[in-house]
Amino acid sequence: MLLITPTHFPDYELIDCGDFEKLERFGKYITIRPEPQAVWSKEIKDKEWEKMAHVKFISKSSSSGTWKKFKEMPDQWRMGYDLKNSDGTSNRINFRLGLTAFKHVGIFPEQAVNWNYIYNSVKKLKTAQPKVLNLFAYTGGSSLAARAAGADTTHLDSIKQVVTWAKENMELSQLDNIRWMVEDAMTYVKREVKRGKKYNGIILDPPAYGHGVNGEKWHLEEMILEMTHIVTSLLEPEDHFVLMNTYSLGFSSIIIENLFNQTFLKNHFETGEIFLNATSGVKLPLGVFGRSK
């Protein structure tokens, strides 16, 4: 099992985490947000957190809340990330961040390790213009990585607002021609199988729970087996990569290992855990992954 973390992300810093919160810097602005994985104590005192922070998310319910500002800052701002190619070159992608009612700011910085994997995996494909499908795609970091590497990229999410946000990130990154789909992921992949479609790369980052455009229900534990089998049937047999990332409390990378072992990816994949290193010295686990190698 691999343990991986972003190693060069100047625009982002996890400063500290603990007591079910995390203190993070996005660009030049510092936020305090809830973090259910941070069950230990903070390394830095609460008073110091609030001295550093520009804003703190105050939960009003399990799914929403408001932001309390300690210092002046905009409700929207930008930051970027340099995708690292195996030959030492880089390609910058940019994001518009914002203070949402759901504690998110529009980026999951730990996913930078997956963006690099996607970018380099596309570069290694032999197909002239490989086709990549990004499911549960949120604001599009993985889609930007695939497109920056030259892939014919399809971005799918069931929420229209975040697809619009992803399109804005594409434009900020000076990219174009990503195909946008606002649809339920399971419905879409089943239809693609019927159409006989094939992809060189498939990316999945499914939530624990979710809903499709027409109220379709997604439950990770109940549906991930079917999704895994459908996704592998959509892959080009010889020239492909697949990446699955999950963030769900108690969901082990061994589960992904068992799922991948029951497909033609057997013996051709690796699994592990993604974490962030806090400047204070603690490590914050933020999901498990499986990917072809």
The confidence score (pLDDT) of residue 13 equals 98
| 3-class secondary structure, 84 | strand
42 lies in a domain? no
Is residue 90 very low, low, confident or very high in pLDDT (cuts 50, 70, 90)? confident
How many domains does the structure of the chain reveal?
Answer: 1
- As a whole number of Å, the CA-based R_g of the chain is 19
Q: State residue 267's pLDDT score.
A: 75
Q: Specify if 121 maps to a domain.
A: yes
**Given pLDDT bands bounded at 50, 70 and 90, which one contains residue 225?**
very high
Of 73, 141, 149, the closest CA to residue 108 belongs to 141
Q: Is residue 281 part of a domain?
A: yes
The amino acid present at 234, given as its one-letter code, is L
**23 is a domain residue:** no
Residue 22, SS3? strand
Residue-number span of the structural domain to which 238 is assigned:
108-292
Whether residue 87 lies inside any domain: the answer is no
Q: How high does pLDDT run on average in the chain?
A: 95
What is the pLDDT at residue 21? 98
Where residue 224 sits, what CATH number does that domain have? 3.40.50.150
Domain-embedded: residue 14: no
Question: Does residue 55 form part of some domain?
Answer: no
Q: Is the pLDDT of residue 250 over 80?
A: no
- The model's pLDDT over 100-114, given as tens digits with 9 standing for 90+, comes to 999 999 999 999 999
Residue 21 lies in a domain: no
Task: Work out whether strand 179-182 and strand 152-157 pair parallel, antiparallel, or are unpaired.
Answer: parallel
| pLDDT tens for each residue of 161-203 | 999 999 999 999 999 999 999 999 999 999 999 999 999 999 9
Q: E strands within the chain?
A: 2-4, 12-18, 21-26, 29-34, 55-59, 65-69, 76-84, 90-98, 131-135, 152-157, 179-182, 201-204, 209-211, 217-219, 241-246, 269-277, 283-292
